[in-house]
Chain A
Amino acid sequence: MIELKNVSKEYVKGKEVFTALKDISFRIGKGDFCFVTGPSGAGKSTLLYVIGGLIHPDSGVALYNGHDIYSMNSRDINLYRKKNLGFMFQQFHLMPYLTVAGNIKLACNGKNHAEKIRYYLEKCSLATVSKKYPSELSVGEKQRTAFIRAIISDPEILLADEPTGNLDQLNSDVLMSLVKEYNDGGGTVVMVSHNREFEKYATRSIELLQGSLQ
């Protein structure tokens, strides 16, 4: 499904060159739960965003079902993200001017997913706060909202960048059980976290150190 071949990425800051990814090659199959770990600055997020079509690698290729993501035109790359990917972030990135339901609808791509939204709101214990704005939510509620937004349009791949980074243990467990359920239903998960505690949910693990696979 996803395959990276000899992917490298460097960042230049002034005279300093920082290697984020160094000759990375690996494959993620459909239904995999890939846990990417490593210390801060190891290149975990860069790897996730390379898969997400948001960071163009300096060299190597990122393939989705055999197609090079970065040789697509901008329309196709947008379509790739829209149809196949769901993103979750440590900072949730909810639209502050939309309610919980509004934030979820934002990802519906114009389709009417009312029933599905209701189902997930109930499932994620958000039904009572569906008309509230992000500023009125707890961090756990915010991240569960972000989770529903990420999966509401049935993407094939869920890309999660430190999704539990701002959550306490209880909320982290709730969220991870939801992610696991998505994975059990056939969804592919690539989750970046420095907290190895959640490795138990994964079907495979990748460790990065200074941009290289360990």
Chain B
Amino acid sequence: MNPISLILKELFYRKVSSLIILLTVIIAGTVSVAVYTLSKASENETRKIMREQGLNLYIFPKGTNLIDFYSVSNTQAFPEEYVDKLAESKTFDAVRHLTGILQVRFPDWTDPNGSSHQIVLFGYKDEAMQRFLPAQETMGFDVEKGKVHLGSLVARNIREGDPFTIKGSDGIVRNFEIAKRLEEGRGMIDQGVAFNLSDLQEVLGMQGKINKIEALGCVCKDGRIKNARNQVQAIFSDLEVTEISSIADARENQRLMMNKYGAFIIPFVILSCLLITGLLFYQNITVRNREIGLLKAMGKPTSGILFMIIGKAFILGLIGGIIGFFAGHFIAEYFGKEIFRFTAPDIKPLWNVFFYSIVLFPLLWMLASWIPALMAIQIDAAKTLSQE
């Protein structure tokens, strides 16, 4: 008889015990996936909120009038390669995420109805990170070349499906596909348009130029601004650094705290479930000692008996892992809607977590059944079979 078929028949025969074991995997899987997904969502939410709230640090040319800067006046430009140089510099580690930005006021944009408006244009360079430090996920805007993201006020003037049209400093009218229409209430970008940096440089005839660097994701200790300033100025004496928001820090700290909770809850739940599983398998072996004795008497090898026990754990671990993944995702999505303002629609199944679920849970549950399986192969067949 096929050993897998034997495992399945036993599994269905001892329904209650099998269901409880399955339940432990489902609970562990659900909690792990839900907590992890929510923690990821929290990370994304923090990222978006940080963008909303402003950023940790701005790096801009020395002598820039900050009043002009905040009131979105055009400020002095500098080479965009500064971003890469900062990223490559091993002496600059005060912040991780660097985005070169060209931000200019464009006083004469004509909308499709022919009306003229003053708008703000943002050109985002692909985010750079310190390349000698471990890789991290990017936090900045991603605007693809040839596309734009429209601020809510600008978007009101353009019909769905139409391109964004702008006349460049060279007199050429350029069309850009609208990749996103941003929600209102996002600050300066409401009255602006986000471009890929190279597109905006071409429109404005400012090739290779930016006028500020946004630094994201810095949760530095006290004195960070001084530290960052010293590090930047040691590389570029013509640049200045200023701190923008401490709210971002609070959000980042909140996210880190959630990660810490996750780092405790997930192992705690998994270990508890593994312990219960181990006990259930022990009980299963005790109940089945005569069956196992019989198999031994019939000449079944030790490996075959181990396979029967561990194979059962694998099957339950796999099924539980799959159910747990979808249940965990469902819970994360359900509660995520209540918790996260920006990220809720983006809570999607994390397929890399699915892969870990179908590998890790069967493995862990096989591990939990390992000691009972070893006990099974130690069963004295003669003793159990001669019992009346």
A interface, CB within 8 angstroms of B: 45-46, 49, 52, 54-55, 74-75, 78-83, 85, 87, 89-91, 93, 95-98, 102, 105-108, 161
Does B351 count as interface, using CB distance less than 8 angstroms? no
A98 and B382 within 8 A (CB): no
Does B302 count as interface, using CB distance less than 8 angstroms? yes
B9 and A80 within 8 A (CB): no
CB-CB < 8 A to B294: which residues of A?
Answer: 87, 93, 95
Interface 1/0 per residue, B369-388 and A, CB below 8 Å: 00000000000011001111
Selected A-B contacts with CB under 8 Å, 26 pairs: A45-B382, A45-B386, A49-B382, A49-B386, A52-B297, A54-B381, A54-B382, A55-B382, A74-B302, A78-B301, A81-B299, A82-B300, A83-B299, A85-B299, A87-B298, A89-B386, A91-B385, A93-B291, A93-B293, A95-B294, A97-B10, A97-B12, A98-B9, A102-B9, A107-B298, A161-B385
Interface 1/0 per residue, B2-35 and A, CB below 8 Å: 0000100110111000000000000000000000
Does B96 count as interface, using CB distance less than 8 angstroms? no
Instruction: Give the 4 A-B CB pairs with smallest separation, nearest first.
Output: A82-B299, A97-B13, A81-B299, A49-B382
Does B186 count as interface, using CB distance less than 8 angstroms? no
CB-CB < 8 A to B301: which residues of A?
Answer: 74-75, 78
Query: Smallest CB–CB gap between B18 and chain A, Å?
Result: 11
B interface, CB within 8 angstroms of A: 1, 6, 9-10, 12-14, 290-291, 293-294, 296-302, 381-382, 385-388
A161 and B386 within 8 A (CB): yes
A87 and B297 within 8 A (CB): yes
Closest Cβ neighbor of B13 among chain A residues? A97
A87 and B385 within 8 A (CB): yes
Most chain B beta carbons < 10 A, residue from A81, A85, A161 = A81
B299 and A93 within 8 A (CB): no
Query: Smallest CB–CB gap between A183 and chain B, Å?
Result: 20
- Count: A-B pairs, CB below 8 Å: 68
- The dominant DSSP class at the A interface is mixed
A93 and B296 within 8 A (CB): no
Closest Cβ neighbor of A74 among chain B residues? B302
Partner of B297, one of A54, A75, A79, A108: A54
CB-CB < 8 A to B293: which residues of A?
Answer: 93
Most chain B beta carbons < 10 A, residue from A79, A85, A98, A107 = A98
CB-CB < 8 A to A98: which residues of B?
Answer: 1, 6, 9
CB-CB < 8 A to A95: which residues of B?
Answer: 291, 294
Closest Cβ neighbor of B290 among chain A residues? A93
Most chain A beta carbons < 10 A, residue from B1, B10, B301 = B1
Known: A52-B297, A74-B302, A75-B301. 15 other contacts (CB 8 A): A45-B382, A46-B382, A78-B299, A80-B299, A81-B298, A82-B298, A87-B385, A89-B386, A91-B290, A93-B294, A95-B291, A95-B294, A96-B13, A98-B1, A106-B6
Closest Cβ neighbor of A83 among chain B residues? B299
Question: Measured between alpha carbons, how far is A85 from B9 in the docked complex, in Å?
Answer: 26
CB-CB < 8 A to A45: which residues of B?
Answer: 382, 386
A105 and B299 within 8 A (CB): no
Question: Measured between alpha carbons, how far is A107 from B10 in the docked complex, in Å?
Answer: 17
B10 and A108 within 8 A (CB): no
CB-CB < 8 A to B382: which residues of A?
Answer: 45-46, 49, 52, 54-55
CB-CB < 8 A to A79: which residues of B?
Answer: 299
Query: Smallest CB–CB gap between B171 and chain A, Å?
Result: 84
Question: Measured between alpha carbons, how far is A45 from B383 in the docked complex, in Å?
Answer: 10
CB-CB < 8 A to A108: which residues of B?
Answer: 1
A91 and B387 within 8 A (CB): yes
Question: Measured between alpha carbons, how far is A161 from B294 in the docked complex, in Å?
Answer: 13
Question: Measured between alpha carbons, how far is A120 from B296 in the docked complex, in Å?
Answer: 24
CB-CB < 8 A to B6: which residues of A?
Answer: 98, 106
Query: Smallest CB–CB gap between B9 and chain A, Å?
Result: 5
Question: Measured between alpha carbons, how far is A80 from B387 in the docked complex, in Å?
Answer: 24
A106 and B290 within 8 A (CB): no
B1 and A105 within 8 A (CB): yes
Query: Known contacts A96-B13, A97-B12, A106-B1; is A78 also within 8 Å of B300 by CB?
Result: yes
Query: Smallest CB–CB gap between B291 and chain A, Å?
Result: 6
CB-CB < 8 A to B12: which residues of A?
Answer: 97
Partner of A106, one of B298, B302, B388: B298
Query: Smallest CB–CB gap between B65 and chain A, Å?
Result: 83
Question: Measured between alpha carbons, how far is A74 from B381 in the docked complex, in Å?
Answer: 14
Question: Measured between alpha carbons, how far is A75 from B388 in the docked complex, in Å?
Answer: 29
Closest Cβ neighbor of A192 among chain B residues? B386
